[in-house]
Structure 1
Amino acid sequence: MPTPFWGPDFEALTSTDPEIAAVLLGELDRLRGGLQLIASENLTSPAVLAALGSTLSNKYAEGYPGRRYYGGCAQVDVAEELGIARARALFGAEHANLQPHSGASANLAAYAAFCAPGDVVLAMDLKQGGHLTHGSKVNFSGRWFQPVSYGVEREAELIDYDQVRELARTHRPRMIIAGATAYPRLIDFGAFREIADEVGAILMVDAAHFIGLVAGGAIPSPVPYADVVTATTHKVLRGPRGGMLLCRAEHAKAIDKAVFPFSQGGPLMHAVAAKAVALKEAAAPEFRAYTHQVVANAAALAGGLAAEGMRPVSGGTDTHLALLDLRPLGVTGAEAERRCEAAGITLNKNAIPFDPAPPMTASGIRIGSPCVTTQGMTEPDMAQIARLIARAVRGEAPAGIARAVGDLVAARPAYPRG
């Protein structure tokens, strides 16, 4: 049966391609029937999904508003201009570009705007919480540039700013990147700005994970400190899958050229319009309350898991995610992920700092609170979720846990019916 927000278009799909229609329904059932705790995922609104499924998908619009290669762009120009204005207002940015197809695409554009092949880039080590685009040898960032990696202190598991400064002075990077994918604490953007200024480096902040928290005022903003901020729109920000860039006015031309024509052709205008919708939603008071609840829920969930014998890396979290060391329980991250999935709990294995296990095994798990908070859950629910995760990680039979998960999400389902 079609959902209310798919409407008659879904009925057409069921007739034309029942196999794919079944996939869509199966995914909806998965979202409604389980706990979604992947830190980099969220549940977009029906309004965002409507824009994504619109006729804007048909339009080729190479270039920027008022400067397109193709004709017939009057309507998509309006959508993109609205999105740009909303992004600038929401984040206090002098310039915004909503065309990147992903966070990785946004990062590529930032490299292209400021660096030449072979330049030194200082960024966080992937093994200690960074990202593939921060210098991994299997990624463009590690193949085209000279990566130098900083990490966290072994004991506190917090970013070692003294190490960052020492490496910057030694290697004189063209660009310094602040930001991570598995770092649960606040980042001192002011310290990074000071270091970048000392060595004459561009400061890029990869805010993919936490830009939604910035939008809601739940954590400090990197925008006043960074030359360029890269981000995704599909995590805490709760928009469509995609990327965006925020930068100072002096860098606007370089950033725009690095997106088009350097690294992308025609933008996905249905996605740009959906980003505009999400940015409008993020400016509402309800979204501000949501982001603060996301942070509170993550802290409660980390605390509950600590009580169950899982060690929170760095002692806890200030954001939407937590990283848990499972070695006290004698379980690998990969095994914990598998056991949780069997019980209807979706999370991911993750390396911890100085992890003795290989990445595909890992000693930890990463959990995030955006999805369950979108569903309306609060701290008491996090306590229950922590107990369910612990039961699964310890190897209890999954059927009973899955029933308890089903009861919990039935009270606050994803995409409620009717």
Structure 2
Amino acid sequence: MRYERIREVDPAIADALDGERARQNDTLAMIASENHVSEAVMEAQSSELTNKYAEGYPGERYYGGCEYADAVERVAIERATELWGADHVNVQPHSGSQANMGVYLAMLEPGDKILSLDLTHGGHLSHGHPANFAGQVYEVEQYEVDPATGYVDYEGLRKHAEQYEPDIVVSGYSAYPREVDFERIQAAADAAGAYHLADIAHITGLVAAGVHESPVGVADFVTGSTHKTIRAGRGGIIMCDDEYADDIDSAVFPGAQGGPLMHNVAGKAVGFKEALEPEFEAYARQTVDNAVALGDRLQEHGLDLVSGGTDNHLVLVDLRPSHPDTTGKDVEEGLEAAGIVLNANTVPGETRSAFNPSGIRAGTPALTTRGFDEDACREVADCIYEVVEAPHDEDVVEGVADRVDRLTDEFALYD
């Protein structure tokens, strides 16, 4: 039995943790930003470092007793530097959003201008949505993907940047299924005299493995999450040239947050070591191959994919052409009842509410971690299509649930 000590102190939480472990074992995680970390990463994140305050940076802490915290952070930085090739790395941000905040605080003044992709077209809240701090502190204008192709219009972006004259251009997205041309976005930023922030939160692992072009050495700043396709401890990261190092470090601490979560930094370090192993490149390539197979089979069933396919770890389905009366939320709820967990998502040219949008987003990182190959992902696509056809039909949902049970047994996650 797991969680024995928790159960002695707090049975309600132990029950919830047991339930979550069972849920992850028995369902297919297809939310594109989720993954399953190793037992080693989870052990690091539950280590005694959770007890330690370590405000500051290695060798320059504001508290004593930080020799092992220093050792862990230095190793995390060294491994991140090897993975992505950046001059300077800060591994302390608590999340990808706080990594973005660190860059904004370091380089912008309140009221400065941000140019970023619209949320409904695949952007992220922290890129300037009005409900987010970025949209409240800075002036934000947003670009869109080409509604006909689903691709970023790079020439249009350049013209937009020259007209708007932003202080920073943001690239990197949360629901964009195509490879990002960071060189062309850098050219747009250069044309406007702006900084370029590349947010690779979703594709950190794909970039580290070389299956997606890297913005490191191209963009002025690169931020990311450390728990998505890279499968390390949960949190964020900032990478930049040495000339910006002091400004970035000061913006993270004390600018955006206090003491780092050293147990999470330990989890990052362990996950980075795993990503440096040769097997990780094969994992990243399989993640993309699985997404392509998933998307191709969905198209064979007559579903429309934004941009017509994928180059990365996710597919974005626009339900309007084939199922105009079905919403993304209908499909999300039907699939969850069957044991497939993905999310309803806005699509370019969205005509519904963001709370009940017209699309679904499906990712393959967690499936690939379980050992899924292209054939298994094609079967998952068949399951998704069945629920899209009849999301409220209990017999359909029950039939798909039986197939999911077989798949989760075949590709077991935890003992």
Q: Equivalences for 1:163-174 in 2 at 5 Å?
A: 163-174=156-167
1-side partners of 2:406 and 2:8: how far apart?
A: 33
1-side partners of 2:351 and 2:403: how far apart?
A: 34
2-side partners of 1:103 and 1:380: how far apart?
A: 33
Q: 1:245 aligns with which of 216, 227, 238?
A: 238
1-side partners of 2:181 and 2:388: how far apart?
A: 34
Q: Equivalences for 1:10-409 in 2 at 5 Å?
A: 10-327=3-320, 328-330=322-324, 331-395=326-390, 396=393, 397=395, 398-409=397-408
1-side partners of 2:256 and 2:381: how far apart?
A: 43
Q: CA deviation at 1:57?
A: 0.3
Q: TM-score, normalised by structure 1?
A: 0.97
Counterpart contact for 2:158–2:187, Cα < 8 Å: no
Q: What residue identity is the alignment partner of 2:170?
A: I
In structure 2, list runs of 5 or more residues that go unmatched.
none
Q: What residue identity is the alignment partner of 1:149?
A: Q
Q: TM-score, normalised by structure 2?
A: 0.97
- SS of 2:223's equivalent in the other structure is strand
How many equivalent residue pairs? 409
Q: What residue identity is the alignment partner of 1:292?
A: R
2-side partners of 1:134 and 1:268: how far apart?
A: 24
Counterpart contact for 1:120–1:148, Cα < 8 Å: yes
Counterpart contact for 2:290–2:364, Cα < 8 Å: yes
Residue deviations 1:237-282, cap 9 Å, x none? 1112211111111110010000001111000000001101111111
Q: What residue identity is the alignment partner of 2:141?
A: V
2-side partners of 1:54 and 1:216: how far apart?
A: 28
Counterpart contact for 1:55–1:270, Cα < 8 Å: yes
Q: CA deviation at 1:34?
A: 1.1
Q: CA deviation at 1:377?
A: 0.6
- SS of 2:196's equivalent in the other structure is strand
2-side partners of 1:393 and 1:356: how far apart?
A: 19
Q: CA deviation at 1:306?
A: 1.2
Counterpart contact for 2:234–2:267, Cα < 8 Å: no
Residue deviations 1:49-77, cap 9 Å, x none? 00001000000000000000000000000
Counterpart contact for 1:309–1:329, Cα < 8 Å: no
2-side partners of 1:304 and 1:352: how far apart?
A: 20
Q: CA deviation at 1:29?
A: 0.7
1-side partners of 2:198 and 2:287: how far apart?
A: 21
Q: CA deviation at 1:12?
A: 1.1
2-side partners of 1:79 and 1:333: how far apart?
A: 43
1-side partners of 2:51 and 2:112: how far apart?
A: 39
Q: CA deviation at 1:206?
A: 0.5
Q: Cα RMSD (Å) of the superposition?
A: 0.9
1-side partners of 2:4 and 2:111: how far apart?
A: 53
Q: How many percent of aligned residue pairs carry the same amino acid?
A: 46
Q: CA deviation at 1:329?
A: 2.1
- SS of 2:351's equivalent in the other structure is coil
- SS of 1:122's equivalent in the other structure is strand
Runs of 4+ residues over 6 Å off in structure 1: none
Q: What residue identity is the alignment partner of 1:276?
A: A
2-side partners of 1:12 and 1:314: how far apart?
A: 50
1-side partners of 2:317 and 2:388: how far apart?
A: 12
Q: What residue identity is the alignment partner of 2:349?
A: F
1:6 maps to none
Q: What residue identity is the alignment partner of 2:49?
A: L
Counterpart contact for 1:151–1:159, Cα < 8 Å: yes
2-side partners of 1:400 and 1:198: how far apart?
A: 55
